[in-house]
Structure 1
Amino acid sequence: MDCENGADTSTRKRKLCRLVALSFALLCILQATLNISLRLAFYSSDTTTTPDCEAIIKNLTKEEDIKMNELARYIQRGWIYFKHSLYYVSSTENTWKDSREDCLQRGADLVIINSREEQNFIREFKNRTWIGLTDTEKEQTWKWVDGTTPTISFWDTDEPNSYGGNDEDCGEIYFYERENSWNDAPCDTKKVWICEKNL
């Protein structure tokens, strides 16, 4: 009786293996058919619907060359490249408004910090610097210069606070030695600033 059960189990295992192998073979045939169909559809000889691949490649190469040349020009003028943006750190100090005006004249704006990685990059300049953050429109409603509200923030403990009853409506990197380094400050004080230009 044990022998019969052993033979029966062995037969079932062989049948199951054959079924799995057959299913796998059918899947392979289906995949090959699908690949061929898609390739034929993509490489159809109908030129009215198929773009000229060589023209597209040449155009992309030309666009890349233009971007690389633009990037090189900015770097020669003292800008720093980081994660698809260019950053300019001023060598002089100015008010928040005049700092922003300088950035705008350079085709940029005061820096907008969107990630921990960017925050840590900005801190590396080891300077008190204006950033593009302000609550001049509505007290305690902080917005970036592009009108968006911060999705991530790095305020120091108890900041922003309009310390001593002062009108502190502009954001700065103050405590650059630590990650939570943002501080609110009076906009008419003079500090170094950082411009950001997205590529």
Structure 2
Amino acid sequence: MVRVVHKEEISIDYVNTRDTSANRLTDKDRKVHHAPAGRRIYRIVAISFVLLCILQVAVNVTLRLYFFKTGNLTRNDNILEKLSDSYIKRGWVFFGSSLYFISSSKEPWLKSREFCQRRGADLVVINTVGEQDFIGQFYRLTWLGLMYQEELGDWEWVDGTPLTKSYWGESEPNGYQGRNESCVEIRFFGDQNSWNDIPCYEQNFWICEKKLAL
């Protein structure tokens, strides 16, 4: 609004307005103020992306190993289950990692072994004390897959491994009365040390063993 007081004196009343000059920043000021924050955000985003990539790779590798391992285990378990079921239905017994067949008739050592071999097995080879205890629980005079080899001058299992741990009964082996006792039976029931040497032509029950390790 303009009001004339004298010819030469003019006064102007201004409507009050906000002075924004103090809040204004030049382009240069803006750049100086915002640039450091922008670089920090960029670095954070870049580092996060790299970490995400590393995590993704680790997850992929872990999943591949897991499915590969479980897939193989499942496949092997299925094979063992089918094989075990097939033999168990025919009278075999599962123990440890092997299947065992305990005969109900008697034969000499060689014929007993042939029976086992025709069924994809062999006379039992005892590798652990647990297996020795398992075999001893049947309370039968049974052939083992152990034979004295004249050319070696020592005992050997049917799988070709030498005898390292034995469970001979007291004073055995002894070649009783000068006989050629080249085969071995379980004889002394109730004792862990239950082996006895005996002529291979004698008649005994027998135990076949089929290993299931894949």
Question: TM-score, normalization: structure 1?
Answer: 0.72
Aligned to 1:135, the other structure's residue is in SS state strand
Structure 2 residue aligned with 1:133: 146
Aligned to 2:164, the other structure's residue is in SS state coil
- Structure 1 residues 139 and 65: CA distance shift in structure 2, 3 A: closer
Q: CA deviation at 1:39?
A: 6.7
After the TM superposition, which of the residue ranges 140-149 and 124-133 deviates more from structure 2?
A: 140-149
Q: CA deviation at 1:151?
A: 2.4
Structure 1 residue aligned with 2:99: 86
- Runs of 4+, deviation exceeding 4 Å: 38-45, 50-56
State the one-letter code of the partner of 2:159. D
Q: CA deviation at 1:148?
A: 1.0
Structure 1 distance, partners of 2:74, 2:152, is: 48
Q: CA deviation at 1:99?
A: 0.6
Residues 116-145 of structure 1, C-alpha deviations (whole Å, 9 max, x = no match): 111111010100000001003347511111
Structure 2 residue aligned with 1:116: 129
Structure 2 distance, partners of 1:52, 1:40, is: 14
- Structure 1 residues 71 and 81: CA distance shift in structure 2, 3 A: same
Structure 1 residue aligned with 2:120: 107
Structure 2 distance, partners of 1:58, 1:185, is: 48
Extract unaligned runs of 5+ from structure 1: 1-35
State the one-letter code of the partner of 1:143. E
Structure 2 distance, partners of 1:90, 1:127, is: 10
Aligned to 1:142, the other structure's residue is in SS state strand
Structure 2 distance, partners of 1:69, 1:44, is: 33
Structure 1 residue aligned with 2:209: 196
Q: CA deviation at 1:44?
A: 5.4
The answer to whether residue 158 in structure 2 is matched with residue 145 in structure 1 is yes
Verify the 8 A CA contact 1:114 1:150 in the aligned structure 2.
no
Which structure: larger Rg? 2
Residues 157-176 of structure 1, C-alpha deviations (whole Å, 9 max, x = no match): 11111100001000110112
Q: CA deviation at 1:40?
A: 6.3
Structure 2 distance, partners of 1:162, 1:147, is: 23
- Structure 1 residues 159 and 140: CA distance shift in structure 2, 3 A: farther
Q: CA deviation at 1:149?
A: 1.4
Residues 24-83 of structure 1, C-alpha deviations (whole Å, 9 max, x = no match): xxxxxxxxxxxx9x97665457xxxx9575466445323321211111111111111111
Structure 2 residue aligned with 1:187: 200
Structure 1 distance, partners of 2:143, 2:73, is: 37
Question: TM-score, normalization: structure 2?
Answer: 0.67
Verify the 8 A CA contact 1:136 1:170 in the aligned structure 2.
no
> Cα RMSD (Å) of the superposition?
2.6
Structure 2 residue aligned with 1:72: 85
